[in-house]
Amino acid sequence: MVQVITDSCASIPEALVRKLKIEVVPYYIHKGTATLRDLVDVGRREFFEWLPKAKQLPKTANPGPGDYLAAFKRVAQRTREIVTVHMTSKGSGAYQAALVAQEMAQERLPELRIEVVDTLQVAMVHGWAAIEAARAALANASLEKVAQVAREVAAKGTMIQTADTLRYLYLGGRIGRAQHLVGSLMNVKPLIGMEDGIIVPLGRARSRLGAYRQMIRLMGERVPFGSRIKIAVTHVAAPEEARRLLAMVGEKFICVEEIVSELSPALGVHTGPGMVGVNFFPV
């Protein structure tokens, strides 16, 4: 059976990770002099309670080739075929690190067949690609088919999010083409999305409710209202807002699968507490 590997920034709920037998490689968080493994050495609750009080944002780092090679070695004990699914290569070095690890594995573990997938996505669109690939793997799909599923879901997927501020995204260097929104007036809620692997501005609203209405309108421009979709609403320390947004989405679309997922600390550090987003694709 094909083994699917992804990383902690996919922000897939842990119960689903276990059910689908996904191997997760953690990102790193450099907090002061400490180096923490995302979702291993640091959890969501304590990190997001601390983050607004931080005088200096922690730095994050993607797993290195050695981390992926170690994952390949672990997986090689039970399979010879691997699909590893990564967030956009234009915002992280994880994809490139996995390619290097793939070359290393070809020399040291020549029996392994490895496909490395660049989703050009983030958050739970990246997560959905890994989830659907893992489901295909559990259904005994071939290596090529599992990788194809991941790429197709990523290509069809859309991420739209809003937050109280873009300060965290700006300070973390992940602002992309949405930089001009940083100077927005207070109480204006910016909307951002992902196009061709880069963060882009999608608009702004005067309130959270207004932002949610705009998000749903933008969803309708990509997928007609009434369509069948799989939807994950992501958030950072805002579960009630996530459920509120999900209920609004359910009024306009047929949600055949719904997930509410909190971002991992390594990803949430770039959005800050209060972020809420939709991550969906048509089915």
Distance in angstroms (rounded) separating the CA atoms of residues 80 and 20: 18
- Overall CATH class of domain 3-27+62-156: alpha beta
- Options 3.30.450.40, 3.40.50.2300, 3.40.50.300, 3.30.1180.10; CATH for 158-282 is 3.30.1180.10
Burial of 186-207, coded b for 16+ CB within 10 Å and e otherwise, reads eeebbbbbbeebbbebbbbbee
Question: pLDDT tens-digit profile of 59-90?
Answer: 999 999 999 999 999 999 999 999 999 999 99
Question: pLDDT tens-digit profile of 223-240?
Answer: 999 999 999 999 999 999
Q: Which of 120, 252, 125, 275 is nearest to 190 (CA)?
A: 275
Q: Where along the chain do its domains lie?
A: 3-27+62-156, 158-282
Distance in angstroms (rounded) separating the CA atoms of residues 101 and 26: 15
Question: pLDDT tens-digit profile of 163-195?
Answer: 876 666 555 555 454 454 444 445 678 899 999
pLDDT of the residue at 185:
45
**pLDDT tier, 162 (very low <50, low <70, confident <90, very high otherwise):** very high
Distance in angstroms (rounded) separating the CA atoms of residues 243 and 210: 16
Q: What are phi and psi of 259, to 5 degrees?
A: -135, 135
Q: What residues contact residue 14 under an 8 Å CB cut-off, 6+ apart?
A: none
pLDDT of the residue at 136:
98
Contact (CB, 8 A) for 131 and 12 = yes
Q: What are phi and psi of 90, to 5 degrees?
A: -90, 0
